Amino acid sequence: MGTLDFLARHWFGVVVYLVIHLALYYLFMVVLSKKHVKFHKNKEVLEKFEPFNRIDVDNWTLANTLPGVLLFLPRMLLWILNSTLYTIVFSLITIDLDKEKDTLKGGRRKLMRMISNFLTRFSCFIAGIVWIDVDYVAAGEGDYSKWLGPDWKPEWNRAGAVILNHHCWMDILLGIYLFFPSFVAKKSTKEYPFVRKMAPLTDSIFIERAGTKEERIAAVKQIGERMKDNEISNRPPLLMFPEGATTNNLSLI
C-alpha cells in the first residue's frame, strides 16, 4: 500500500518523470544514434569496416534498456557529483604543484590512488559494471622467456606500458581503477571537462594525432624512452589504446 499510496499522491510527478526519460531514450537511442546504425544492415560496408560494426544495436530496444532508461537522470546526477568530487580532491592534493613542471608522485600519488580506487569504482558501478574480474599473469602462464631471456619472470607492478583494446569510454575508468596509470592521449584531451585541471599532472604523454611524419616519429621515440624509464623507476605505466578509436572488440585495426 505504501507504493500505491505514493503513486496516487504524486501521480503527476511520476508521469512527468516517465515522459522525460522516454523522451531521453528517443533522443539518444533513436535520433542521435542514427549515425551509428546507418550502415548496420549494409553487408558491403560492414565487410570493409568490420571492426566498427555496432554489434549491440539489436539490444537497444526499449524493453532491453528500460531499467537503465528509467534511472538515467539519477545515474547521470550521481556521475556528475562523483566526477566533481574527484576533481576537487585531486585539486586539493595538488594545490601547490606547478602544472607546467610538476607531476603527481610520492605520498600524494599514493593518497590519490587510494581515493581514486573508490571513486572510479563507484563510477563504474553507476555505469553498470557491477563486478570486475581480473586475471594476472602467473607462473606458467604467459611465458615470454623465449623472447625476453631465461631469467624473465612476470612482475606485474613493473610494467612499462599497459596496452588495451578500446571498446567504449568505460575502458578508461577501468584502466584508472586497475592501474592508476599515465596515458598516451591526443592533445585535445587536455581540454575535456573534469580533465583539463588534472591532465598536466598525470605524467602523461600528449600527442598530435594529425601531426607530421617527423612529429609521429618523435612521439614514438618519446614513448619508447618513457617505457624504458618506467621499467627502472617508480613512474606509473603508460596506458595506451593503440587503435586510436573504439571498435566492437571482435577484431583489431
Q: Which residue is listed with cell 507504493?
A: 3
Q: Please check the confidence at residue 116 and state whether its pLDDT lies above 90.
A: yes
Region of residue 237 (phi > 0: left; psi between -120 and 50: alpha; otherwise: beta): beta
Domain boundaries, the chain: 2-69, 73-240
40-54 pLDDT tens trace: 777 777 778 888 777
Tell me the pLDDT of the chain averaged across its residues. 83
pLDDT digits (tens, 9 = 90+) for 53-68: 777 777 778 888 888 8
- pLDDT of 113 strictly over 90: yes
Percent of residues, the chain, with pLDDT higher than 90: 21
* Phi-psi map region of 247: left, alpha, beta (phi>0 left; psi -120 to 50 alpha): beta
pLDDT of residue 7: 64
pLDDT > 70: percent of the chain: 91
Q: Which amino acid is at 48?
A: K
> Is the model's pLDDT at 75 over the cut of 80?
yes
| Mean pLDDT computed over 107-118 | 93
What is the predicted pLDDT for the residue at 136?
A: 65
